[in-house]
Amino acid sequence: MNMIQTIDLTKRFGDFTANDHISLVVKEQEIKCIVGENGAGKSTLMNMLYGLLEPTEGKILIREKEVNLKSPTDAIANGIGMVHQHFMLVPSLTVFENILLGAEIKKHKCLIDEKTEIAKVQELIAQYHFELNPMDKIEDISVGSRQRVEILKMLYRNVDILILDEPTAVLTPQEVDELMVSLKNLKKQGKTIVVITHKLREVMELSDSVTVIKHGKVIGNMETKDTNEQELAQMMVGRNVILTVSNNNMVDEQAEIIYKADHISTANIFGKKVVDNMSFCVRKGEILGIAGVEGNGQSELVKIMSGLMETTEGTISFHGENITNIWPKEIRNKGIGIIPEDRYAQGLCKEMSLGDNIIAGYHSRKDVCRRGILQRKAINSKRDKGIKDFDIRVGDMNGTVAALSGGNAQKIIVSRELTANPDMLIACQPTRGVDIGSIEAIHKHLLEYAKKGNAVVLISSELSEIMSLSDRVIVMCKGKITGEIEPRDTNMMKVGLLMAGIHEEEKNE
């Protein structure tokens, strides 16, 4: 049976057509992957299937019957559930409370029959082999577990079609593997699954069929077994893509050290040391990678480096000047740029225009601000140049960042920080949610930037990104540096051990 069918489904935002006569079929109990460049229209399509957006034209058929989905409640009533890229859970509530939220079934109309409901949740956890405790608070569990809660929330509502929008973007490699197992298991138990992803390896490993979307149109529908990564990349981007850009820059070992962190530490609100006595330096022209399993102090280290947290010990110097614990604005003024890890929380203001976002943080510089007045013409030309150089796909030049697709929003930040031309760039997850063609472009931009004699500190949960771009890598575990490696002559095994906090010597003992 066809679980989902769309016929000429079209969505327009003003004069911009985000989905252009999309026709596709998702069969019962299959895993379908949807791929396409940033801004191709993938999320728009899924949002229509989940009742969040109303189609401008065309039809949606669920189980071969035409439906009119006005809201997610309608979608759920039709058996369709969606897990968004940005989780929508309440951190201070428990797993159980979050699952029930919005679907409370009341006994005698006013009381929730907690015992029965907990048992039900527990039964689902067992049935789908999810490792979760219904009584844990969301804020205490890992990102991977939170995602399982989002999936469980949908299963609790008895959906048999699950849509996941870029589910692996925020997961660690191990969590990605666990999710793959869970999804295959859900399929085995009868569910139909639609996954949007930029990672072609996942498409090949997971899906039965794949649909490629470009500029709002379907340009390919095929069985996964009949295609391969290179072909998909070629279709999406329209040219051959180098899947791994490697660093051929030669860094002079005697090059000047421009950044030096000396025995820095910080504790979280519970008094636990999350950055523990770290010392490292970065030379001119060098890309220093920081590897580690997420949650081992990288976020806090970046907060210290960007002035959002204080180091309680030690010093930081830049160009020989002591910059320990100075304000974020001063750090930027000294010549350190930042691509933050959470683009919407720290990197952009969604409600503001593209122009305002492309100068944010640099808005008092002479080129865009004279006598305290912002120079619109200069800002607009900066915006247009950024859009061109970084191939940012926008519907409306004068629109807000909220109307951009996830990957294009990320590219606004990358463009802003590189164009400001700082002496050093702290790049956190610079290609998260970005399509393969743009990953290649951003990697090339970073290498080019370093080649000009600037420094980069690269923090990424994509180990392959760290290993292919960095000149030198330090590995973090539990807030400490567990080792330093040369990526060109180190195997992944050694990095994995260091990430787990095991030194080579210890292993041999």
Neighbours of 489 (CB within 10 A): 6
Taking CB under 5 A as the criterion, the residue among 6, 43, 197, 306 binding Mg ion is: 43
Mark out the alpha helices in 189-297 (DSSP H runs): 200-206, 229-237
Q: Token pair 């063609």 is at which residue?
A: 437
Q: Give the one entry of Mg ion, ligand ATP, none that residue 38 binds, where binding means its C-beta sits below a cut-off of 5 to 8 angstroms depending on kind.
A: ligand ATP
Interface with ligand ATP, residue 217, by CB under 6 A: no
Taking the complex as a whole, the smallest distance from the CB of residue 30 to Mg ion amounts, in Å, to 21
Considering only the stretches 36-44, 255-263, 280-288, 358-366, report the one whose residues sit in contact with ligand ATP under the rule CB under 6 A: 36-44
Spatial separation of the C-alpha atoms in residues 98 and 152, rounded to whole Å: 10
Considering only the stretches 37-45, 55-63, 236-244, 410-418, report the one whose residues sit in contact with Mg ion under the rule CB under 5 A: 37-45
Residue (15 or 321) nearer to ligand ATP, CB: 15
Taking the complex as a whole, the smallest distance from the CB of residue 34 to ligand ATP amounts, in Å, to 8
What sign does the dihedral 341-346-352-358 (CA atoms) show?
negative
Q: Give the one entry of Mg ion, ligand ATP, none that residue 36 binds, where binding means its C-beta sits below a cut-off of 5 to 8 angstroms depending on kind.
A: ligand ATP
Residue (16 or 327) nearer to ligand ATP, CB: 16
Spatial separation of the C-alpha atoms in residues 450 and 492, rounded to whole Å: 24
Spatial separation of the C-alpha atoms in residues 258 and 344, rounded to whole Å: 30
Residue (199 or 284) nearer to ligand ATP, CB: 199
Number of chain residues interacting with ligand ATP (CB under 6 A): 21
Spatial separation of the C-alpha atoms in residues 105 and 112, rounded to whole Å: 6
Interface with ligand ATP, residue 18, by CB under 6 A: yes
Q: Which of 177, 178, 128, 187 is CA-nearest to residue 152?
A: 128
Taking the complex as a whole, the smallest distance from the CB of residue 413 to Mg ion amounts, in Å, to 16
Beta-carbon contacts of residue 497 (< 8 Å; ≥ 6 apart): 503, 504, 507
Considering only the stretches 261-269, 291-299, 404-412, 463-471, report the one whose residues sit in contact with ligand ATP under the rule CB under 6 A: 404-412
Spatial separation of the C-alpha atoms in residues 198 and 200, rounded to whole Å: 6
Can you give the three-state secondary structure of 354-379, one letter per residue?
A: HHHHHHCCCCCCCCCEECCEECHHHH
Q: Give the one entry of ligand ATP, Mg ion, none that residue 403 binds, where binding means its C-beta sits below a cut-off of 5 to 8 angstroms depending on kind.
A: ligand ATP
Taking the complex as a whole, the smallest distance from the CB of residue 443 to Mg ion amounts, in Å, to 21
**Binding residues among 418-437 for ligand ATP as defined by CB under 6 A:** 435
Interface with Mg ion, residue 406, by CB under 5 A: yes
Spatial separation of the C-alpha atoms in residues 204 and 220, rounded to whole Å: 15
Residue (43 or 168) nearer to ligand ATP, CB: 43
Token pair listed for 508: 């041999």
Beta-carbon contacts of residue 373 (< 8 Å; ≥ 6 apart): none
Taking the complex as a whole, the smallest distance from the CB of residue 91 to ligand ATP amounts, in Å, to 24
| CB-CB contact of 162 with 195 (8 Å) | no
Taking CB under 6 A as the criterion, the residue among 404, 424, 427, 499 binding ligand ATP is: 404
Taking the complex as a whole, the smallest distance from the CB of residue 71 to ligand ATP amounts, in Å, to 17
Q: Give the one entry of ligand ATP, Mg ion, none that residue 44 binds, where binding means its C-beta sits below a cut-off of 5 to 8 angstroms depending on kind.
A: ligand ATP
Residue (300 or 465) nearer to ligand ATP, CB: 465
| Sheet architecture: strand order including 313-318 | 273-283, 257-267, 313-318, 321-322
Using CB under 6 A, list all residues that contact ligand ATP. Answer: 13, 16, 18, 36, 38-44, 393-395, 403-408, 435
Q: Which residues bind Mg ion (CB under 5 A)?
A: 43, 405-406
